[in-house]
Amino acid sequence: MGKVIRVKPHLTLEEIDARLKTLHDFWRIRRWMIIRHALVDPAPAKDIALRLGLSVFTVRDLIEAYNRHGPDALETPGKGQRQHAYLSVEEEHTFLSPFLADSQAGHLANTRRIKQALEAAIGHRVATSTIYRLLHRHHWRKVVPRPKNPQSSQEAQDAFKKTFQP
């Protein structure tokens, strides 16, 4: 049989039960159920994982985080969203506003300049794909000037339009 895993009594059983009654997300409930089981009936992580349908590593990691940091370790922002973003969406919007003003004035905004400015703002290098995702998130699209042949002649084009027979 494995080593019995125990939790530190950061919260009482009644406080844990009160939190369980207010939660709606299944993954949050499952996290608190791990702590409740370890508090009420200390058992090896393998047994707690088997009871709740989780992996042994998940049980160990959550109990270790709870023992170190208390209830705040279980109250994370959640699944999905932007857990590892460099800037919030509002910060990104303010970051892009000078580039938007330049582009509205007729200047081209290229990803190289935006990438250099972002790296300077956050203090380390980022991938180019990060810049493209940032621009896509703020509904920027690639608009380039229409190409024009430098050797074209307006007079030759006008003459061709006058003489062309469809």
Structure pTM? 0.53
Whole-angstrom distance, CA of residue 144 vs CA of residue 141: 10
Task: Quickly list DSSP for 15-31.
Answer: HHHHHHHH---HHHHHH
- pLDDT tens digits along 23-33: 998 889 999 99
Average pLDDT over residues 23-47: 93
pLDDT more than 70, % of the chain: 97
* In the predicted structure, residue 98 carries a pLDDT above the cut 90: yes
What ranges do the domains of the chain cover? 4-73, 89-137
What pLDDT band is residue 149 in, cutting at 50, 70 and 90? confident
Q: Describe the chain by its helix, strand, coil percentages, rounded to 5.
A: 60, 0, 40
pLDDT computed for residue 1 by the predictor: 62
- pLDDT tens digits along 99-137: 999 988 888 888 999 999 999 999 999 999 999 999 999
pLDDT computed for residue 31 by the predictor: 92
pLDDT computed for residue 63 by the predictor: 95
